[in-house]
Amino acid sequence: MKSKRIVIKIGTNVLQQSNGKLDHKLIGELAAQIAIIRGHGHEVLVVTSGSVGAGRELCSVDESKNTLASHQILASVGQARLIQIYADAFRKHKTTVAQILLTRGDFGLRKSYLNIRNTLENLLKYKIVPIVNENDVVATEELDLNFGDNDLLAVYLATLIGADQLFFLTVAPGLLKEEETQEGKRSTVVEKVEELTDEILQHCLPVTSAGGKGGMESKARSAGMAMSFGIDAYIMDGKSPAAVCDVMEGQRRGTHFVAHGRKIRSYQKWLAAGALNKGTLVIDAGAEQALMKNKKSLLAKGVTRVEGQFENKDLVEICNQEGVRLGVGRADCSAKELRHQIKEQNLAKTGGKDPQSKPVIHRNHLFLE
């Protein structure tokens, strides 16, 4: 069997018992299964939730108002406990683990993004299992600096290290949809997804719970993003730890989001799943065709609207007239300069002149979806 690089994301509700505290036995079973996978020559990175649940074992905090402060107290107390539980579980299999705490902002700068990648590569090289969690202790209310849930963090990390497979372990058997039968409605597992459509999202049943931040839609969207980056993604029952091993052995478990097979360069990986976007450019149909079909740079004459305040070399999102995201790129001018260019071009058109247009984003600094 060819050696693979795997990311396993373990959700809060998989790790927690009904009383909100951690299920130590299940963590031990997960560690045993990961040891088996590594024994076959595969590399594994774990993205875990559970620090708040671990914190509940050690201290009592008023959670009635669900404030950021109470969440951070439990997370800061619980994170040390959580990594200790993982370390003890993996020690039984003669495996060393490393704790890595990240925020959305850590991926924003190219230099820090590369530092994260280099650290992870070295840990995997030395047969150490990275245990990654979002650093809730320094989280803020500013959503662009937070992941919000670990589903997106798992996709970013899988993209960063060039993973072959990404497993989302949840409390559901997979992506669920309702079907009409003679006996009435029943829920069935969607076994395979080759394209994440609105129809799939609309028909999939939500799996809600008290402990986790994300939900089934979050996982489906994250899995869809992963497969568009050439990563096979799976949503499956985490309460059955052997499920990942079963998939590795060719068995069907949960929902398989089939990779598109698209390979992207390191710089494009950062553009696609890392960089923080500072604004949005809305483009016309002609510019959309030039980008998507003709593989051209984006010119100022194709931009119909500029949103946000960004500077030269900041990252911006690109959308068409219908608001559909087309990709992301590095701007070669500021928002102020671009608005001025568009104004001059409109005046030139009014005067019957052929307006000169400068590149706003060079082709080499574009990632198109």
- Note the pLDDT of residue 210: 47
Q: Quick one: 182 and 280 in the same domain? A: no
Answer yes or no: do 58 and 163 share one domain: yes
* Whether residue 226 sits in one domain with residue 346: no
Q: Are residues 63 and 151 in the same domain?
A: yes
| Same domain, residue pair 122 and 208 | yes
Are residues 41 and 158 located together in one domain of the fold?
yes
Residues 150 and 295 occupy one common structural domain: no
- End position of a domain, from candidates 236, 268, 300: 268
Q: Looking at the structure, tell me whether residues 196 and 298 fall in a common domain.
A: no
Same domain, 69 and 112: yes
Note the pLDDT of residue 97: 98
Q: Are residues 250 and 285 in the same domain?
A: no
Please write down the HEC assignment for all residues of the chain.
CCCCEEEEEECHHHHECCCCCECHHHHHHHHHHHHHHHHCCCEEEEEECCHHHHHHCCCCCCCCCCCHHHHHHHHHHHHHHHHHHHHHHHHCCCCCEEEEEECHHHHCCHHHHHHHHHHHHHHHHCCCEEEEEECHHHCCCCHHHCCCCHHHHHHHHHHHCCCCEEEEEECCCCCEEEEEECCEEEEEECCEECCCCHHHHHHECCCCCCCCCCCHHHHHHHHHHHHHCCCEEEEEECCCCCHHHHHHCCCCCCEEECCCCCCCCHHHHHHHCCCCEEEEEEECHHHHHHHHCCCCCEEHHHEEEEEECCCCCCEEEEECCCCCEEEEEECCCCHHHHHHHHHHHHHHHHCCCCCCCCEEECHHHEEEC
How many structural domains does the chain have? Answer: 2
Domain with residue 321: its CATH number is 2.30.130.10
pTM, two decimal places: 0.85
The CATH number assigned to the domain holding 113 equals: 3.40.1160.10
Q: Looking at the structure, do residues 151 and 10 belong to the same domain, yes or no? A: yes
CA–CA dist 36, 183 (Å, integer) = 42
Residue 34: the pLDDT is 97
**pLDDT of the chain, 369 residues: tens digit per residue:** 689 999 999 988 899 888 878 899 999 999 999 999 999 999 999 999 888 888 888 888 777 766 777 878 888 899 999 999 999 999 999 999 999 999 888 888 888 999 999 999 999 999 999 999 988 777 655 545 567 678 999 999 999 999 999 999 999 898 888 777 777 778 888 899 998 888 777 766 555 444 444 478 888 989 998 998 899 999 999 998 899 999 998 899 999 999 986 667 778 888 877 777 889 999 999 999 999 998 899 999 999 999 999 999 999 999 999 998 898 999 999 999 999 998 888 777 766 565 567 789 999 999 887
Residue 285 sits in the same domain as residue 182: no
Provide the residue range defining the domain that includes 296: 276-368
What's the confidence (pLDDT) of residue 138?
A: 74
